[in-house]
Structure 1
Amino acid sequence: MSSSYHKGQVYEYVSNDPSVVAGLQPRPQPQHSRTQRLGLVRIVLLSLGTVVIVAVAAFLGFLWWGAIASVNEGDRPNSHILRRILGPGWLLRFITISSLVYRVVAGAQAAAATEMIASLFLEGNGCLLPDLARLSLTHCQTAGPFQLACAAPRQLYDSANLFTSGLLTALLIASVATQFTSTILLTDFSAARLINDSAALNVAFGFKYPSNEDAKSSTNLFNPYAGVDYWTSRPSAYLRFAEASAPPVQGDGIYDTGATARAFLPFTNSTQRVALRRYEGPATVIDARVVCIRPRLSIHAINLTDVYMLSLSGSISVRGGYEGLDTSYSDPSSFACMVDVGKVSDRPLQQRMSLCPMDSTAAFIQGGVRPDLSSYTKAYLLINATSGFENWRDNGLGGTEPVTILESERTSQSQGTWESFNLKGAPDIGIDATLCFANPIPWNYQISAASSQDGFEPTLQWNITTGTYRSNAVRSLLGSTLAPIPSLERGLLKLASPANWSTADASTAFGTPDTINYIWTALRSQRYNVSLSLSQRENGDDLPLLVPHRAHIGLFQEILAHTDSNAALAMQALFFTLLQMSYSDYTAEFDVSAKASANFSQDVVIPVQWRGFIIFCAIAGIHIALVTTITVTFFLRTRVTALGNAWQAVGQVAEVTGGETVYRAAGMTDKQMKAYLFTVEREENSPAVEAQGSDEGPPSKRQRGFIARQKKTRCDEDFPCGLSTRNEASLGMIVNILRRIEGKIDDSKLDSNPTENHRSIAAALRPFNPRSPANSSEVLGVPSFLRQETIDSPAAPTDPNPAISFSAHQVLFWPAIQSALPESVKLMCQMQGATYSTRLEASRSKLPHSPSVDVSSDWLSKLSIATLKQLSDVYFTTFNLANPILDQKTYFQRTLGVAIDGNFGICIESCIVLVVMALGSMGQKALQEAGFAGTPASSPYAGQDAEMPGLDFFNEARKRFGFLMCEQDLQACQFYLLSGLFYAEALRPIDWWAMLSKASACSAYFWNSLSRDRDEWMLDMQSRLFWITSMFEAVLSQELNLPPSNSLHLEEHIALPKFISAQDIASFGSFRYPGDDPFFHYHFLSQLAHRLILTRARNSLFHFNPTADYPPEPVEDELIRQLEQWRERLPPMLQFNPKSPLTQAESPSDALVTAWLHARYFVARYHIGRPLLHRALERPASLTEGHLRKCRDAISAVLAWASVIQVTDTMRSCNPLKFFVCSQ
């Protein structure tokens, strides 16, 4: 007996006899070689494409290696190719092209692998019939694995297809990752500095030596000495230079900075000097070496002049010999110097230094850049007066007779390079002196200098607090530190020092005319060899000494202060700065130039790490492994499929489904065809299509249900291959309809069950996810998670008990509380009813007018500007921190000035200022209560109320505002809110509510009539006022059951404030008002979010219907979760741990901002747990362990609140919420 079956698309005839059985001729099996099955094009694509992918990865690796090596080494790439790629900006282009080539090749290989996967489905374990056509066409030609993304999961009805589907899934993931290779590679990129190729330059470096024969020489065309006085000029910056230095030498009585050659960089552009990495060419080099020794000093005469100076004369000589100094010709040298002693009260305290150039030198510096020019060594006597003018005068030094100074205890008092003398009987009054030598003769040489990093050119920065310069960067650049720092670490270029500088003369090396440098004139002042004062004092034409620019003095004093009075380092920095200024000044006039070569660093974007490249290689490796695995599997599991053959694919579909099905499919869509195949009648019930021994030939309709699997089982009901018959289809439709009806019945039952519905209620609470204040500009209205106004509690059976009110005042009406109240309180509750607090407040008398203030209010004109400023500052330090009603900058620079200029007439500015004065008086009292301010001066007017300070100011404001009551603008709204704060502090909540209603009307008027010409600051201020009004309204209406305004519907349309500064008011530098601190801005937005959470708790947990059923637990849990999220997502500066005790306030912001944030958190915990406390008091038998735990948490919150509120109570007179302190 013969049998036939379909395995995939291959129709096979299986028989026990190899001969023809029952007249059915077996179809010959196609025999294709592997080359034919895969196709020549695909073989080339798979093999050559893999080579291309490896080549791309290798090329990118070469680029990464070169770029990272260049960054790490701080030098230019060794490879010329790398320099060409990285330098001119070709790197990004090459990477883009490389990743594009990779994506194209990988995409083509993925398409070929997809064709093989389709063949595996067809020839493997079969597929669903509706997917037959797609899979057949896919193994002919495809665009990629995404074409099978929807069909592959349906083939998992057979676990044997799991491996093939896994290959397809992995190929899909690899193909998706391939699309992001460029982005992945770019993650390794960052900005870096790269050295470019050497550039040939023509640089000017000096003046042509003046000659009578050359009339065109620049030195013959201008006077280089005209207007030269760099002592009294300020350096624009301290320029970068090249340096070759030896370690300093320090001995007994001597400090030698060491041989130091410094070359000026011949570039006028600061960017070029900073980015210079290598330079070879001409440059001016000076010997910056300075040697200071302790001299032998003889004082002949000393007088005190009337301009705070000493007239000092004497002789000086060198003690013995010193290494590095030639003292063989040393003879005592006389000197006559003026020494600046200043005054005892001079600030800031500095050393009273004076520099006295010597007419002759007592020694010559040996060695250095030009040993042959040592005769040009110059000596300088540096003198420090140890006390001020008054002390010198008080010790008898003030007449015309010379006074002899005694050399007392010279050994013990002299130290380092300083020789110390003092007056007889006055050990603290005297002078310190040191003798310094320098020979900074400039000369032009051929130099070579290099650096491994970019440099910098700092400037002196003024410290307004200390009254001194910030000189760290400058001192580091100039090497003025006790611990020597290598030149490269200071951002300088390392200068190559030749064995003999004279052989590197520029005129010889470059064949240029002889040059002359005039920069040595920088060390000359306008008055030859005059003494110089190196301490801060005023200059004058009649002074017998010169006062240099304060920048020179400041740097000199800073170096002395940070180097233990090291005169050599200070003198070296001073002289080099002056010479550098001179060189920079003369650069534009240089007329001798020569060729030079230089390398500069440049900003480039290159790879700086390997992570992205490694991920790229991993993706490429996975892709190659996947394609290889799919190819091997294709050869092992398929026999007849030849990829790329279109007619074979069409013929196999027609063979399996039959010509009738193919003919019918010509006029259908895929969706219609799928429905047709799943509903047509099947001729056989067997899941395996067996060929009966007949002459029917290949089956056609037999495979319409699905292509048979080798398993002899029917399709599972949960994964139907299709409904086999029309009767089965009708039955399935009926079953589905019944299931839908059953589901609706279950849903209706679920809605009627409040217990089961708790879960849906909890789900209705949207998660707490507030926006940060930095992004508040994108939020229209309140955060989306808080826009849901009410979470309806489920219906509950009628309960005769009264409703649980959100108002904390209503706790008095709880039966358990009533039983513990005194009889007088019970009587009050019975007489006034549930709204007792509102009734009692409404019956209070209004605020009185102070009888001591006359009608003309002359006392206002007597107020000083200082008083107005002081009370205004107090207001902004207290009330405005948590409730920023006013913009501090606008108030001080506009509002206050208008009120004062108008003599507090009838204008809105006067009203605002007067209310601010009233609140400032209250704030001053609060500061005194907390110990933050002393007792203020006596008030300039009578009638100051000790219990209600500021009442007179407030009454004056009300009197003036009576003429302005129809105003609706921004300032009117601010006036109402400020007046509301005053009423709140006066414990008059009803009057406060009246002011809020008017402020709300002003705000609604603005937002409902909004025009496009409003500036951003106005919109932001109006937003600020709206949300302040909204928060305070919520407190009053929820606690006292007062009617809210009609502007609440605007909440979803008004953005949160961004605290923009007014642009039309000038700012004074970088000055910022205290209220501009983002800390207070974040706090305001945080308390706004907290208020919205409390409103949600009120609407969700408390109700005013006749029933008093308790809210479901999921609602309470969700509100607690949202409150915790609010606390956890506070900005870092506002974060707090509720378990940590709050310390006493150290500033007003601690009591008015930080402490209130803690208090609000615990109040919210109490409100959310209050219904459960009511339940514990009224129905204790219904409590569970979970209820008891939550009650404990609520009581713990109350106890924690009690400790926190003590901190806020330290400023009791600045607490607008004191009436609601235990409820809001």
Structure 2
Amino acid sequence: MHQTAATSHGSPDKALRPWEDGRWSFPSVIPNTTIHTSFATAPNNLRRPLRLRESVGLIGTLSIVGGSLGVVAVLMFLALLWFGHGPVIDGAQANQVWRPITLSSVTLRLIVSTQSAVCTSMIAALFLESRSVRRALVPWFSVMRGINDGPWKLLELVASSRSFTAFRSFEMWLTLLMIIVTLGLQFSSTILLSDLSELQIVGDTNTTQVNSLIPSLEPNTTIYITSSFVLEMPPIYPTFGEAQNMFSADPTSDGLSNTGLIQRALLPASSDSDRMAVRKYDGNAIILNSQVACMRPNISVRFKPTPFPYYDRLGWVVEGELNYDMTFQNAKIDPGSFCSTGKCDGLPFNCKVPVAHLGWQSTMCIIDGQVVEYRQDNFDPRWNSSSYPWSRNSSIALILATNINRKNIPDQYFYPEEAPYEEWNSYEFPPDGFINITLCFTVFNLERYHVNMMALGELQDHTTPFTPLITPKVDTTGLQNLMGVNKPQKNHKARGILDMQILGPPDDGPPSSLANMILQTDVYGQKPLKSYTTLMFEESLIIQFLVGFLANISILLCLDCTGVSAIQIDIGLAGFLNDVIEQTGRPANALLTLITVAWSKIYYAYLDSLTTLQDAQITMVIKVPAPGPCSTNGCRGFIAVTTLASVHLMYVAIITALYIRRIRFSRHGNIWHTISQLATHELEETLDISNDMGDEPVAKVSGKETMNNLVKLGRLEGSGRIEVIRIPESNNSSEPKRSLFQRLRESISARKGSNRQE
């Protein structure tokens, strides 16, 4: 029992004063000579916990609850940056994506540091009230309940304690875990930025001037490319905009294969990288209107051998006569004005047959249409997009495909029987040889429109995949996919092209503007300047299908074939077109592709010559450091930060729960109660010597074995005062625990000694 006599200072009034004559005085309930062996009243220590507002405080509660919500919000925002880009990466001001990552990590570090300070205060209170500490360290633990700079000092104090129980306590390991996680999250920016890679992200829409029209009326500025045959040059396969979503050249039961009207526009960007970067384009563009129809021809044919030049071997040709009228009747189509000139009775032709070396090989023999009419005066080669593809403005050709090599060529005239197959007439040459023939009408024109083109996914440009000297046969599936001629045909996104909408006539400014007035000016009294660019390009494109300006000119559409007096286009392009015919059986698709390739080559060869600029609204992707898809780039940084933050939230919740459940006397963030609870008998001597002394010498004196007992907070009986109270030696957890056998043996020895004394 504690003595309750008056203090040596006498007066009860003085006993209640904390300071007298330069020395601390203590309540009369704590005699200077008393050594406390237990808490005064256990029931007082087991009273209900303080209210949350008192024990943790408003600031502490906001730090714990609000901070935890803030950590969750930061993690959700980071998850949005990592996983919220969707199928098409997008975002305005995306070139600054590293800034929100850095700001998020700064916010995370601030929240974690704040919560760590609060948790440090809670753990210090848990050590004081639920555990025990050395008397020399009591001031540190007590002050930490009110103010601290994190868990580092707390770990140092626990580590410097000679109390074995401190290292076995759950609070100590929580402190160590808190230090590790807090330290790791200090490098969250570096950890997160390790996930960044160079990605393409859509930027802002900008007004850009693009090459659009021929610059002036001077003759030397006209595009003179009519004499060049671009199909002999290495082709390009750029991405483009297409108005029609899906098309099919599958033949009808009557053998008619028709692509329908296909409208395509090229982007006014010279370099591949610029075209690939476009995601939206709103402005003027030259549209290629094209259509191809193929059908079984009504012909009478014979095949004859022809000597190869420079070789003592034979090639062959096919001779015959084409009946247009019967061809249209068999296909059950309206010839329209095609036969108005009376040329539908019979047309003789003489075409070269390719000699196949590796599988099926094809050739195109131009027989009629613009070939004949182009040299006549006052002939307008333009095709009306609303008319049929079979017209006198068409390039009319026979497409021949064969698998017969040079060894199987007969040495005399051969008249095989005809067998219809889809849009083909098939002729068999025993034992396993065939020649297939179809009649195709190819039409196109160029027109300027105001268009809107939008990429639904990543755009694709292709280069010629053929290197004949190394790989004479390669896969052209990617090119077929780009042109939409493979089976099954894919959508715009999968093809890597733009979805195009025609908004109306070209936007050349108000009619009263100077620019529009110049564009309305006639060129040499014939065509306005605004139409002249299109006409010159169109004329150059027509020339590509009028090779030699003579009928019965054959163009080889094959990778590994030879022929007599046949024109060889670029070997890579020929192999690509041959694959389309061989793998899909649709020559209409091959000719549609040929038109697009020829137009692309002409347009980009002379785009820089169109020095009259016009405004366009263009949105492009830009390469930026950004978190990419985890499936390709990995997310080790994000996973590491998320794991550390989750562990942090876990131990914050555990520490808070322990604090609320166990703490009875501590108030987070309060200073006066921490100081008041140090004014106790157990610390009287230490407080006396530390009045004018630094911490280090005080620690040496207080660290003496006689002054460094284990203590903890408790409430005294009577006064109800909360003080630091010494833990009796029998309860000193620093002493090794004795087993039941040891205690029993000591008890027996003690009884024997007592009996001897008696």
CA contact under 8 A between 2:363 and 2:557: conserved in structure 1? yes
Q: 2:265 is matched by which residue type in structure 1?
A: A
Q: 2:269 is matched by which residue type in structure 1?
A: F
| Aligned residue runs from structure 1 range 938-977, under 5 A | none
> For residue 580 of structure 1, what is the aligned residue in structure 2?
600
Matched, 1:595 2:615: yes
1:437 to 441, 444, 460: 441
Greater displacement, 637-646 / 543-552: 637-646
CA contact under 8 A between 2:367 and 2:397: conserved in structure 1? yes
CA distance in 1, matches of 2:394, 2:595: 13
CA distance in 1, matches of 2:674, 2:30: 33
Q: Summarize the Cα distance change of 1:218–1:286 in structure 2 as closer, same or farther, 3 Å threshold.
A: farther
Q: 1:358 is matched by which residue type in structure 2?
A: D
2:206 to 199, 208, 217: 199
> For residue 477 of structure 1, what is the aligned residue in structure 2?
482
CA distance in 2, matches of 1:623, 1:524: 78
Q: 2:212 is matched by which residue type in structure 1?
A: F
2:530 to 506, 514, 521: 514
CA contact under 8 A between 1:341 and 1:389: conserved in structure 2? no
CA distance in 2, matches of 1:197, 1:524: 42
2:580 to 559, 565, 586: 559
Q: 1:575 is matched by which residue type in structure 2?
A: I
| Aligned residue runs from structure 1 range 580-729, under 5 A | 580-604=600-624, 605-606=626-627, 608=629, 615=643, 618-619=646-647, 621-622=649-650, 625=653, 628-629=656-657, 632=660, 636-638=664-666, 642-643=670-671, 655-658=683-686, 662=690, 673=701, 677-678=704-705, 708-709=726-727, 712-713=730-731, 717-718=735-736
- Structure 1 residue 295: Cα displacement: 0.5
CA contact under 8 A between 1:184 and 1:612: conserved in structure 2? yes
> For residue 337 of structure 1, what is the aligned residue in structure 2?
350
Secondary structure in 1 matching 2:575: helix
- Structure 1 residue 642: Cα displacement: 4.3
> For residue 353 of structure 1, what is the aligned residue in structure 2?
363
Secondary structure in 2 matching 1:468: coil
Secondary structure in 1 matching 2:398: strand
Q: Summarize the Cα distance change of 1:269–1:310 in structure 2 as closer, same or farther, 3 Å threshold.
A: same
Secondary structure in 2 matching 1:250: coil
Q: 1:534 is matched by which residue type in structure 2?
A: L
Secondary structure in 2 matching 1:258: coil
CA distance in 2, matches of 1:640, 1:560: 83
> For residue 47 of structure 2, what is the aligned residue in structure 1?
none
Matched, 1:548 2:552: no
CA contact under 8 A between 1:281 and 1:597: conserved in structure 2? yes
CA contact under 8 A between 1:295 and 1:419: conserved in structure 2? yes
CA distance in 2, matches of 1:497, 1:333: 41
- Structure 1 residue 304: Cα displacement: 2.2
- Structure 1 residue 133: Cα displacement: 4.6
5+ residue gaps, structure 1: 6-11, 14-18, 27-32, 78-82, 209-215, 398-404, 690-702, 721-1224
CA distance in 1, matches of 2:99, 2:596: 47
- Structure 1 residue 660: Cα displacement: 6.8
- Structure 1 residue 561: Cα displacement: 2.8
Q: 1:242 is matched by which residue type in structure 2?
A: G
CA contact under 8 A between 1:355 and 1:534: conserved in structure 2? no
CA distance in 2, matches of 1:302, 1:688: 116
- Structure 1 residue 651: Cα displacement: 5.6
CA contact under 8 A between 1:276 and 1:454: conserved in structure 2? no
Residue by residue over 1:279-322, the C-alpha shift from the partner in whole angstroms, topping out at 9 and shown as x without a partner, is 22111211233211110012378562443342635334224164
> For residue 1052 of structure 1, what is the aligned residue in structure 2?
none
CA distance in 2, matches of 1:183, 1:677: 46
TM-score by length of 1: 0.46
Secondary structure in 2 matching 1:143: coil
Q: 2:727 is matched by which residue type in structure 1?
A: R
CA distance in 2, matches of 1:195, 1:268: 20
Q: 1:233 is matched by which residue type in structure 2?
A: M
1:448 to 448, 452, 463: 452
Secondary structure in 2 matching 1:636: coil
Secondary structure in 2 matching 1:677: coil
CA contact under 8 A between 1:119 and 1:634: conserved in structure 2? no
CA contact under 8 A between 2:135 and 2:711: conserved in structure 1? no
CA distance in 1, matches of 2:710, 2:588: 108
Q: 2:497 is matched by which residue type in structure 1?
A: L
> For residue 95 of structure 2, what is the aligned residue in structure 1?
88
Matched, 1:495 2:500: yes
5+ residue gaps, structure 2: 6-14, 17-26, 35-49, 310-314, 373-380, 520-528, 631-637, 714-722, 739-758
Alignment length, in residue pairs?
A: 642
CA contact under 8 A between 2:354 and 2:561: conserved in structure 1? no
| Aligned residue runs from structure 1 range 104-253, under 5 A | 104-139=110-145, 141-152=147-158, 154=161, 162=169, 164-165=171-172, 168=175, 171-172=178-179, 175-176=182-183, 178-182=185-189, 185=192, 192-207=199-214, 216-217=216-217, 220-225=220-225, 227-235=227-235, 237-245=236-244, 246-248=246-248, 249-252=250-253, 253=255
Higher helix share: 1
- Structure 1 residue 243: Cα displacement: 1.4
Q: 1:355 is matched by which residue type in structure 2?
A: C
CA contact under 8 A between 1:119 and 1:641: conserved in structure 2? no
- Structure 1 residue 480: Cα displacement: 2.4
Secondary structure in 2 matching 1:310: strand
TM-score by length of 2: 0.71
> For residue 1127 of structure 1, what is the aligned residue in structure 2?
none
Q: 1:590 is matched by which residue type in structure 2?
A: L
Secondary structure in 1 matching 2:421: coil
> For residue 20 of structure 2, what is the aligned residue in structure 1?
none
CA distance in 2, matches of 1:35, 1:681: 35
CA distance in 1, matches of 2:100, 2:4: 59
| Aligned residue runs from structure 1 range 20-39, under 5 A | none
CA distance in 1, matches of 2:712, 2:597: 100
Backbone CA RMSD of aligned residues: 4.9
CA contact under 8 A between 2:316 and 2:409: conserved in structure 1? no
CA distance in 1, matches of 2:28, 2:68: 53
> For residue 533 of structure 1, what is the aligned residue in structure 2?
556
- Structure 1 residue 627: Cα displacement: 6.6
CA contact under 8 A between 1:206 and 1:592: conserved in structure 2? yes
> For residue 322 of structure 2, what is the aligned residue in structure 1?
315
Q: Summarize the Cα distance change of 1:509–1:353 in structure 2 as closer, same or farther, 3 Å threshold.
A: farther
CA distance in 2, matches of 1:620, 1:495: 52
> For residue 72 of structure 1, what is the aligned residue in structure 2?
86
Residue by residue over 1:483-504, the C-alpha shift from the partner in whole angstroms, topping out at 9 and shown as x without a partner, is 2222221111112257xxxx53
CA distance in 2, matches of 1:643, 1:323: 101
Q: Summarize the Cα distance change of 1:168–1:506 in structure 2 as closer, same or farther, 3 Å threshold.
A: closer
Q: Summarize the Cα distance change of 1:440–1:135 in structure 2 as closer, same or farther, 3 Å threshold.
A: same
| Aligned residue runs from structure 1 range 968-1007, under 5 A | none
Matched, 1:295 2:316: no
CA distance in 2, matches of 1:525, 1:123: 100
- Structure 1 residue 580: Cα displacement: 1.2
CA contact under 8 A between 2:116 and 2:150: conserved in structure 1? yes
Q: Which has the higher contact order (CA 8 A, sep 6+)?
A: 2
- Structure 1 residue 587: Cα displacement: 0.8
Secondary structure in 1 matching 2:243: strand
Q: Summarize the Cα distance change of 1:441–1:135 in structure 2 as closer, same or farther, 3 Å threshold.
A: same
1:387 to 385, 399, 404: 404
Q: Name the % identity.
A: 17
Residue by residue over 1:522-546, the C-alpha shift from the partner in whole angstroms, topping out at 9 and shown as x without a partner, is 4245512432233457999xx7432
Q: 2:209 is matched by which residue type in structure 1?
A: N
- Structure 1 residue 339: Cα displacement: 0.2
CA contact under 8 A between 1:196 and 1:600: conserved in structure 2? yes
Matched, 1:416 2:444: no
Q: Summarize the Cα distance change of 1:713–1:381 in structure 2 as closer, same or farther, 3 Å threshold.
A: closer
- Structure 1 residue 152: Cα displacement: 3.2
Residue by residue over 1:43-77, the C-alpha shift from the partner in whole angstroms, topping out at 9 and shown as x without a partner, is 546536854664575366356447744x2142645
